[in-house]
Amino acid sequence: MSGKYLMVGAGLSGAVIGRCLAEAGHAVDVVDSRDHIGGNCHTKRDEKTDVMVHIYGPHIFHTDDEEVWDYVNRFERFMPYKNRVKTTSKNASGERGVFSLPINLHTINQFFGKTLNPEEAATFIAEEQADLSIEKPETFEEQALRFVGKDLYEAFFKGYTIKQWGMAPSELPASILKRLPVRFNYDDNYFFHKYQGMPENGYTSMIEKILDHENINVKLSTTFTREMSVHYDHVFYSGPLDGYFEYELGRLGYRTLDFERFTFEGDFQGCAVMNYGEEEVPYTRITEHKHFSPWESHAGSVCYREYSRAAEPADIPYYPIRQVKEKELLNAYVSLAETTSGVTFVGRLGTYRYLDMDVTIREALDTAKSFMSLQNSGQAAKPFFVSVI
């Protein structure tokens, strides 16, 4: 028996869940308040330079999930791309230089003016740099000091983190750093994942193809209201969790980004991403978008300077803060959501978590599968298929 379903948001979550339901014979409407599909993954060619621009900042696809990799390649050919991040900061002698991230053997030797081999470098960091007196790091700062020591922490993490999160690293949980990658070889690939790449014609082209199904109807520049739900058997909501409830319990905290766009005739910085680790430099990084498509050739360049700040109500939310205050409010919204029927909250905003694209797609595929399984068994759908806490 076919149903009629609404996807709120034309990003990855809405597109993938909508496609799964459409292929199962259901009617799907997709609405988005913006005038384009793709959400924050939206890409568009610059009219002057023909560079493929990541409008809301760069998105780099990386995963170990073979099924997800096969899924995205079904709709768009992914070209080889390795994320090699550089950072401008001061070395151990106080001189500014350009270094590779994550910290690797080249970074260590360049920063300290040494010629260490892998074993020597590991011993040097462990015995002369790392603060091993910190047995159980509880803050971001303690985590960094425990792994790499004061000099590397202050050069590459402290200033950048203050700018990115708007607070001292000593106020942030250690979990943000997770397992700090330090490589005692010359591998400067930022990610460890088996599959890495960029869609040949951009993410918007990929999502457009996912949404291209006879059972899917897309309505852009359309703001969702809860009154719309009465026309559908179920709603999949990828907007802000607190926004669904019209912020009745308060607003969850986010960081947002401001982009200062500029063009350059030639090659501005020679790489896709250049971080700026010093706190006195107001922006966190500069991205040069033609380098995200290394198989293309462009004379001109489109670049973004990125500035991070606290999100205001009218801003696009990027990074959930998830501090103690926000987690308490999140718990309250989750409790409210669990008593709300007819809606499933999905994606980065709907579950108030920072998600990589592959995880977003994996959860969307699993959500669609679980939903249809529950429907076939006559059970009610759940508001969350994953833990948001």
* pLDDT, averaged in runs of 10, over the chain (389 residues): 93 98 98 97 97 97 98 98 96 95 96 98 96 91 94 96 93 78 92 96 98 98 96 96 96 96 97 96 98 97 98 94 87 93 95 95 96 84 67
Instruction: Tell me: do 354 and 225 sit in the same domain.
Output: yes
Query: Radius of gyration of the chain from Cα atoms?
Result: 22
Residues 6+ apart with CB under 8 A from 21: 3, 5, 28, 215, 368, 371, 372
Instruction: Tell me: do 385 and 328 sit in the same domain.
Output: yes
Q: What's the CATH code of the domain at 143?
A: 1.10.3110
Quote the number of domains for the chain.
Answer: 2
pLDDT at 165: 93
Domain assignment present for 120? yes
Among residues 176, 199, 220, the one where a domain terminates is 176
| Cβ atoms of 60 and 274 closer than 8 Å | no
Domain assignment present for 129? yes
Domain assignment present for 159? yes
Instruction: Tell me: do 6 and 154 sit in the same domain.
Output: no
Domain assignment present for 172? yes
Q: What's the CATH code of the domain at 372?
A: 3.40.50.720
pLDDT at 106: 97
Instruction: Tell me: do 245 and 331 sit in the same domain.
Output: yes
Q: Find how far residue 140's CA is from the centre of its chain.
A: 19
In the set 255, 322, 348, 353, the catalytic residue is: 255
In the set 142, 306, 358, 363, the catalytic residue is: 306
Domain assignment present for 204? no
Instruction: Respond yes or no: is residue 214 known to be catalytic.
Output: no
pLDDT at 98: 97
Q: What are phi and psi of 382, to 5 degrees?
A: -90, 150
Instruction: Respond yes or no: is residue 356 known to be catalytic.
Output: yes
Instruction: Tell me: do 122 and 242 sit in the same domain.
Output: no
Among residues 176, 198, 233, the one where a domain terminates is 176
Domain assignment present for 116? yes
pLDDT at 388: 63
| Cβ atoms of 289 and 300 closer than 8 Å | no
Domain that holds residue 150: 103-176
Instruction: Respond yes or no: is residue 258 known to be catalytic.
Output: no
Instruction: Tell me: do 126 and 228 sit in the same domain.
Output: no
Domain assignment present for 6? yes
Dist CA 108 CA 99 (whole Å): 9
Instruction: Tell me: do 232 and 341 sit in the same domain.
Output: yes
Name the residue with tokens 């330090």. Answer: 182
Q: pLDDT for 131-169, tens place per residue?
A: 999 989 999 999 999 999 999 999 999 999 999 999 999
Instruction: Respond yes or no: is residue 66 known to be catalytic.
Output: no
Instruction: Respond yes or no: is residue 183 known to be catalytic.
Output: yes
Instruction: Tell me: do 170 and 229 sit in the same domain.
Output: no
Domain assignment present for 81? no
Instruction: Tell me: do 238 and 359 sit in the same domain.
Output: yes
CA distances from 170 to 149, 247, 255 (A): 14, 30, 18
pLDDT at 387: 61
In the set 35, 127, 179, 265, the catalytic residue is: 179
Taking CA 106 as the corner, what is the angle to CA 102 and CA 107, rounded to the nearest 5 degrees?
50
